Amino acid sequence: MEEVAGEAIARQGKHPAATSGAFVLIGFMGAGKSTAAVELAEALRLRAIDSDAEIERRRGASIAALFAQLGEPGFRHLEEEVVLELLQGADARTAISLGGGSVLSPRVQAELARHLVVLLDIDAQSAWERARAHDVERPLARDRDRFDALLAQRAPIYSTLADATLPAGVRGVGRAAAQSLARLRDAPAGTKMIWASAAGGSYPVIVGGGLVTRGLLGHGRTAQAWPLDRERSRPFCVTDASVGALYGDRLGELAGAVTIQPGERSKTLASAETVWSAMVQAGLTRADHVVALGGGVVGDLAGFCAATYQRGIPHVQVPTTVVAQVDSAYGGKTGVDLPQAKNYVGAYHQPSGVIVDPETLSSLPDRELAAGWVEVLKTALIAGGELWRRVSSHSPLDQRTIMLCAKTKTDVVREDERDAGARQMLNLGHTIGHAIETVTGYERYLHGEAVGLGLLAALRLSGAAELRGQVRSLMRIRDLPLRLEGAAVEDVVAAIRRDKKRLGAEVPFVLLQAPGQAQVGCTVPEADVRAAVAELCG
């Protein structure tokens, strides 16, 4: 059966709440679909069915034996018939795990349209190790090159079919995500979910048009899709004057709200005290939660206030800018600035949920959109693959691109929550970018504009001249600044020395050899840093 991503049906209009279908778990071999289905079934009191086990029961032979007896085409025909029968007879009281290749069938893809499809996402190395470690023989896990090619061919189909994506290899992920998956049935058409998991907490990332702009999570049945139970935990909103005027009344009933002035200058301890005082005035307890409605400044400030109020209460991020939707809303970094440096006071505090409405971006000025896009560019350089292909080919900033950025960020954070290693790659371009913001008083450049200049400097330090030229061209198309003005080279270098990531006398840099090949913790001679900053001024 031909494995072509285009065979996968378009599912943007599917409305899980309007169906009575089952939870159907899909993914590559070794992803742990069967285990997750059982966990999900136990948490929601469902019946769990495994399609491979059902095939073996009916034919009285193992999958490997049936593969050998029938050949792959014959096995796929048998699998298709069994899976279709299971799907056609399943209802909302069922969780079904499917064999990795069953979704190659267009008939199966079509039948999945009335079900809530959950992808257990796994990388090639982990899949290979898990597939080879089990006693069960897997006919398609004998040759590593073919194995990797199969995953690469199927991954776009899995992704297109999925309503929700869970990380494979996380113990108990089916049980942890169960209530959020159940709530997803109440979300509007086209809404997707990514499950973020880290040592400090796990949470749903809910992405869909109209969730905020049309108030779809503030009223009526769809309000049930809110990440927390609002009957038990009252929401308190922190927003800024611009965003509050647009969307402050779209979140439903609130315990209270506080509004700050837009911009980085509001990300201070003085603003935090204003927020804390408003929370006390509203009578917030540890049972309640903060809602951060706005961009990165609001998200960082509100998250910091939630992390420290009564020693920590939950918070939900509702990002309304590009930077926040693709980067800062995820991962639990919260904090405020000091006059001497950016983000110098803060805490790690994972959100209880992130709600992303791409439609909120339509209200942003062109300059804000362009500056925010730099975080998309940075993430694409780190991730490589599909995201880099989309960005480098000028694809629009759509829901798919936002989700790829969110998934990249949450995957990195899952492996390294507190910047001990891999998470440092997310600082690509930020060391020099933050220094530029500091020495220009957070007024001359927007955050993304400063980071864009930092990216150019980082690529210079990486010796990636060709890639730097490509990035520069992508930035020029969006009228982003390509030259540093209003800052002296020595002032920028001095600000870099005060970077919060400094270890002893050294400030570690993130360098990049090619998209998807970032190196963290790199020591760079100060003379080279000075030359890279000077080049920006030239």
Return the bridge partners of 408, or none: none
Between CA 252 and CA 230 the distance in angstroms is 10
Between CA 450 and CA 471 the distance in angstroms is 14
Do 342 and 428 belong to one domain?
no
Query: What is the residue type of 287?
Result: A
Do 528 and 426 belong to one domain?
yes
Phi-psi region of 385 (alpha: psi -120 to 50; beta: other; left: phi over 0): left
Out of 346, 364, 382, pick the residue that ends a domain. 364
Return the bridge partners of 319, or none: 294
Do 379 and 475 belong to one domain?
yes
Do 45 and 175 belong to one domain?
yes
Return the bridge partners of 202, or none: 197
Between CA 427 and CA 520 the distance in angstroms is 9
Do 350 and 208 belong to one domain?
yes
The HSE-up count of residue 201 (CA atoms within 13 Å, CB side) is: 19
Task: Give the tokens for residue 46.
Answer: 């469902």
Residue for token pair 């349209």: 113
Bridge-based pairing of strands 23-26 and 116-121 is parallel
Cα→Cα distances 137→65, 129, 133, 213, 535, Å = 9, 13, 10, 51, 58
Confidence at residue 20, expressed as pLDDT on a 0 to 100 scale: 75
Do 206 and 264 belong to one domain?
yes
Out of 184, 215, 230, pick the residue that ends a domain. 184
Do 383 and 345 belong to one domain?
no
- For the chain, the domain total comes to 3
The percent of the chain in helix, strand and coil, each rounded to the nearest 5, is 50, 15, 35
Confidence at residue 8, expressed as pLDDT on a 0 to 100 scale: 38
**Which domain CATH number covers 38?**
3.40.50.300
Query: What is the residue type of 353?
Result: G
Do 199 and 143 belong to one domain?
no
Q: What is the DSSP string of 458-500?
A: HHHHHT-HHHHHHHHHHHHHTT---S--S--HHHHHHHHHT-T
Do 171 and 223 belong to one domain?
no
Buried/exposed code over 473-491 (b: 16+ C-beta within 10 A; e: otherwise): ebbeebebbeebeebebee
**Shortest CA distance to 290 belongs to which of 244, 345, 336, 353?**
353
Residue for token pair 């913001």: 437
Q: Which domain holds residue 45?
A: 5-184
Confidence at residue 9, expressed as pLDDT on a 0 to 100 scale: 39
Instruction: Give the sign of the dihedral formed by CA 383, CA 358, CA 332, CA 353.
Output: negative
Residue count of the chain, please give it.
Answer: 538
Task: Give the tokens for residue 114.
Answer: 């009335």
Radius of gyration over every alpha carbon of the chain, rounded to an integer in angstroms: 24
**Which domain CATH number covers 307?**
3.40.50.1970
Out of 312, 340, 364, pick the residue that ends a domain. 364
Between CA 195 and CA 227 the distance in angstroms is 12
Do 222 and 157 belong to one domain?
no
Could you tell me which residues come within 8 angstroms of residue 339 by beta carbon, excluding any fewer than 6 positions away? none
Do 293 and 350 belong to one domain?
yes
**Which pLDDT tens digits describe the chain residue by residue (538 residues)?**
333 333 333 444 554 444 579 999 999 999 999 999 999 999 999 999 999 999 999 999 999 999 999 999 999 999 999 999 999 999 999 999 999 999 999 999 999 999 999 999 999 999 999 888 766 678 888 899 999 999 999 999 999 999 999 999 899 999 999 999 999 998 888 999 999 999 999 999 999 999 999 988 877 778 888 999 999 999 999 999 999 999 999 999 999 999 999 998 999 999 999 999 999 999 999 999 999 999 999 999 999 999 999 999 999 999 999 999 999 999 999 999 988 878 889 999 999 999 999 999 999 999 999 999 999 999 999 999 999 999 999 999 999 999 999 999 999 999 999 988 899 999 999 999 999 999 999 889 999 999 999 999 999 999 999 999 999 999 999 999 999 999 999 999 999 988 766 665 578 899 999 999 999 999 999 999 999 999 999 7
* Run of H or E residues at 165: strand 164-167
Do 394 and 421 belong to one domain?
yes
Measured distance between the N- and C-terminal CA atoms of the chain, rounded to whole angstroms: 57
**Which domain CATH number covers 437?**
1.20.1090.10
Could you tell me which residues come within 8 angstroms of residue 519 by beta carbon, excluding any fewer than 6 positions away? 510, 511, 512, 513
